[in-house]
A and B are shown apart, each in its own frame.
Chain A
Amino acid sequence: MGYIFNNLDEVWELLLQHMQMTLITLAIAVLLALPLSLLIYRYRWLNVPILGALGVFYTIPSLALIILFVPLLGLNAQSVIAAMVLYTQVILVRNLVVGLQAIPPAVMEAARGMGMTSWQRWWQVQVPLILPVFLAGLRLSAVVAIAIATIGAKFGAGGLGTLLFDGIAQAGRYDKIWAGAITVSVLAFAFNGALLTLQWAVNPTRKLYKSKGKVRQHLASATES
């Protein structure tokens, strides 16, 4: 802990690098996962090949995946980000596809039959309905990305992993190792908590349970007719 307070500037710098890597990864990953998911939603036969391929990437150890990108993108943050994007795809795409497919066909047909354009159907019906599942995937991806970004330090990407690897290299600098480990954990918890809150806030069924008495009264009258 002492190390963090004595080297606040350095730790802060590394924390920002770490967050930057994570956020860039998530932004790219979402932009990639959305069209992929819509493609699978539209053409169901793509489900197995695409999710299968993404699943294969997911089974490659992250360290190996980063090394694969080094010849292409160099020994820097780019290689790490590319690997993290690929790594989180399977989570995001799977959740988006599940979310889209879980919308009852009758709901989509009603939306079309009432005269919504495809744009209106997307923003007014599909987005609100898939948001909770999507955010669950994003949360998991964020935690995975934060973890992998730690290894990124080995590849010149900076981030809080620097503290860990320095600590190990300098034989016995446990203060650095602790500082890195604690900060990364706090970061992961913060992301997790923030996204969990958001996930809860957008869940439409949450409103059903605002007041217990009211719900019971609703349920009672719902069974009447």
Chain B
Amino acid sequence: MTAIEFSDASLKFPGSSRWAVDQVNCEIERGKLVVILGPSGCGKTTLLKMVNRLYEPSAGTILVNGQDIRRVKATELRQQIGYVIQQSGLFPHMTVAQNIGVVPRLLGWEKPRTQARVDELLNLVALPPEDFRDRYPAQLSGGQQQRVGVARALAGDPQVILMDEPFGAIDAITRTALQDEILRLQQQLQKTILFVSHDVEEALRLADRILILRAGQVVQYDTPFNILTRPANPFVYELMGADDMVRQLGLLRVETAMTDAPPDYRHTEAEPTIARHDSLREALSLILRTGARQLTVLENDIAVGILTLEHIRDSASVGVGA
């Protein structure tokens, strides 16, 4: 099922001669995390903000859950769509609980329901409610603020969430932790997330699909693996750093490269093993570290395949010619 659908969605800012967003056609499947990726000024934030009508399209239509967004009152539409921004945008005069409770209050929820929801969400983003409920944003670290920002966006239980470079201003270590958190939350909640980023690593880590924009136009919309191995043009190739073999291996699973183990295969204790869902990057690292000629691929402690350095090299060369 499609959660967000762009049909020829375009936007030209008044006084500008070029289209900021130029005839974007794309369908975002329900429950998927799609990263909009591109260099600065490519229109990715503009495209995002068209979904909750912070910007109105000059042409084309956008459907959210099958409904033309222009037929919904802007404020009502926004209350149904979660929104996380870079600088967290927490209200400094409100406590953490009040911040998270904003949308429930706008939706007219009863107080006890809102309070229960606030505690539930604080637990979800790993901030113990009894510790954090009554704090003010100024009393939180950058990472904690962004967690509250995510909790606030989830408060009204929206199906669709927009995230505008939410971790862009956060140090690398905290950013990785927050990305893990998003992956964990996504596994649990299955929201449709549209996530703007200019960070290729972030996109590769988080995305089910990546939408690459350039000068307002969609250049490629595909899975991270396909984008890396079959870039649509030299721009994508360069943007993704697709010539970075090690990065590419990090996205490939062992099972895609191994050969099946022969029926009579028995692996010796000395031979290193790897799980079939691990990445080829980990496999390569293991081979280099142990000096072994081949790895035994295990699934539930049973040998299911064999992986050699040659297998890895063959896999890596798939995308290079493109």
List residues of A whose CB falls within 8 A of some B CB. 104, 106-107, 109-117, 120, 125, 128-129, 204-205, 207-208, 215, 218-219, 221-225
CB pair B93 A128 closer than 8 Å: yes
Chain B min CB distance to A163 (Å): 44
CB pair B139 A218 closer than 8 Å: yes
Neighbouring A residues of B241 by C-beta, 8 Å:
none
Neighbouring A residues of B106 by C-beta, 8 Å:
114-116, 120
Count of interface residues, chain B, beta-carbon cutoff 8 Å: 35
Neighbouring A residues of B174 by C-beta, 8 Å:
225
Chain A min CB distance to B281 (Å): 28
For the complex, what is the distance from the CA of A223 to the CA of B103, rounded to whole Å?
A: 29
CB pair A116 B75 closer than 8 Å: yes
* Residue among A113, A129, A218 with max Cβ neighbours from chain B (10 Å): A113
- Name the residue of chain B whose CB is nearest to the CB of A223: B141
Question: B66-86: contact bitstring with A at CB < 8 Å (1 yes, 0 no)?
Answer: 000000001111111001011
Question: Cβ of B253 < 8 Å from any Cβ of A?
Answer: no
CB pair B140 A109 closer than 8 Å: no
Which stretch, B130-138, B243-251, B306-314, touches the partner chain A?
B130-138
CB pair B103 A114 closer than 8 Å: yes
The listed residue (B79, B86, B136, B177) touching A114 by CB distance below 8 A is B79
Question: Cβ of B39 < 8 Å from any Cβ of A?
Answer: no
Chain A min CB distance to B139 (Å): 4
Given contacts A104-B89, A109-B85, whether A115 and B78 have CB atoms under 8 Å apart is yes
Neighbouring A residues of B115 by C-beta, 8 Å:
none
Chain A min CB distance to B160 (Å): 13
CB pair A114 B83 closer than 8 Å: yes
Question: Cβ of B54 < 8 Å from any Cβ of A?
Answer: yes
Question: Cβ of B144 < 8 Å from any Cβ of A?
Answer: yes
Given contacts A106-B86, A114-B78, whether A224 and B141 have CB atoms under 8 Å apart is yes
3 A-B pairs with the lowest CB-CB distances in the bound complex, closest first: A110-B89, A115-B78, A115-B79
Neighbouring B residues of A205 by C-beta, 8 Å:
92, 136, 138
Question: Cβ of B63 < 8 Å from any Cβ of A?
Answer: no
Question: Cβ of B87 < 8 Å from any Cβ of A?
Answer: yes
Chain B min CB distance to A207 (Å): 7
Given contacts A106-B85, A113-B54, A115-B103, whether A219 and B139 have CB atoms under 8 Å apart is yes
Neighbouring B residues of A218 by C-beta, 8 Å:
135, 139
Further pairs besides A113-B54, A222-B140, A222-B144: 13, Cβ < 8 Å: A104-B87, A107-B92, A109-B54, A113-B85, A115-B74, A115-B77, A115-B80, A116-B106, A120-B106, A219-B139, A221-B131, A225-B144, A225-B177
Chain A min CB distance to B115 (Å): 18
CB pair A113 B75 closer than 8 Å: no
Question: B142-154: contact bitstring with A at CB < 8 Å (1 yes, 0 no)?
Answer: 0110000000100
The listed residue (B54, B77, B79, B93) touching A204 by CB distance below 8 A is B93
Neighbouring A residues of B91 by C-beta, 8 Å:
107, 110-111, 125
For the complex, what is the distance from the CA of A196 to the CA of B47, rounded to whole Å?
A: 47
For the complex, what is the distance from the CA of A125 to the CA of B106, rounded to whole Å?
A: 13
Neighbouring A residues of B90 by C-beta, 8 Å:
107, 110
Neighbouring A residues of B54 by C-beta, 8 Å:
109, 112-113
Neighbouring B residues of A208 by C-beta, 8 Å:
136, 138-139
* Residue among A204, A208, A219 with max Cβ neighbours from chain B (10 Å): A204
CB pair A106 B144 closer than 8 Å: no
Question: Cβ of B102 < 8 Å from any Cβ of A?
Answer: yes
What would 8 A/B residue contacts be, using CB atoms closer than 8 Å?
A109-B89, A111-B89, A116-B75, A116-B102, A120-B106, A204-B136, A223-B141, A225-B143
For the complex, what is the distance from the CA of A204 to the CA of B89, rounded to whole Å?
A: 16
Question: Cβ of B114 < 8 Å from any Cβ of A?
Answer: no
For the complex, what is the distance from the CA of A221 to the CA of B126, rounded to whole Å?
A: 14
Given contacts A106-B88, A207-B136, A225-B144, whether A113 and B93 have CB atoms under 8 Å apart is no
Neighbouring A residues of B140 by C-beta, 8 Å:
222
For the complex, what is the distance from the CA of A224 to the CA of B144, rounded to whole Å?
A: 10
Question: Cβ of B52 < 8 Å from any Cβ of A?
Answer: yes
Given contacts A114-B79, A225-B174, whether A107 and B136 have CB atoms under 8 Å apart is no
- Name the residue of chain A whose CB is nearest to the CB of B144: A225
CB pair B93 A110 closer than 8 Å: no
- Name the residue of chain B whose CB is nearest to the CB of A205: B138
- Name the residue of chain B whose CB is nearest to the CB of A203: B93
Neighbouring A residues of B136 by C-beta, 8 Å:
204-205, 207-208
For the complex, what is the distance from the CA of A215 to the CA of B85, rounded to whole Å?
A: 27
For the complex, what is the distance from the CA of A104 to the CA of B85, rounded to whole Å?
A: 12
For the complex, what is the distance from the CA of A110 to the CA of B85, rounded to whole Å?
A: 7
Neighbouring A residues of B177 by C-beta, 8 Å:
225
The listed residue (A117, A222, A223) touching B75 by CB distance below 8 A is A117
For the complex, what is the distance from the CA of A114 to the CA of B76, rounded to whole Å?
A: 9
Neighbouring A residues of B92 by C-beta, 8 Å:
107, 129, 204-205
CB pair B141 A222 closer than 8 Å: yes
CB pair A115 B135 closer than 8 Å: no
Neighbouring B residues of A219 by C-beta, 8 Å:
139
